[in-house]
Amino acid sequence: MIWAAAALILALNLPFGYWRAGVRKLSAPWFLAVHAPVPLAIGLRFALGLPFRWSTLPLYVAAFAAGQWLGGWLRALARPAAGRESRARTLR
């Protein structure tokens, strides 16, 4: 159940990481994209009946960070293709 919670926390953070990668760093939307999923992740743990334990905290923090990173990575994968096409049109 602990690994399932970590996988859900990772999946929960994908859209927030995607959003975070598209806004200016350290702006209000950036802080919201980073911090808004924290209560959602905590609520998810409670909904699954998993109490707080220091031993599982590193796993959940790693899943949170991985979801943020992967979301940003997915945005980076999606954006350059569109950017290259528009730059190619302007260079012609």
Q: What is the pLDDT of residues 60-72, one digit of tens each?
A: 999 999 999 999 9
**Between residues 84 and 76, which one has the greater pLDDT?**
76
Cα 12 from chain centre: 7
Q: What is the pLDDT of residue 79?
A: 79
Give the mean model confidence (pLDDT) for residues 48-66.
Answer: 95
As a whole number, the mean pLDDT across the chain is 90
> Which tokens belong to 56?
């599982």
Residues 64, 80: Cα–Cα separation, whole Å? 25
Give the mean model confidence (pLDDT) for residues 48-69.
Answer: 96
Decide if pLDDT at 27 tops 70.
Answer: yes
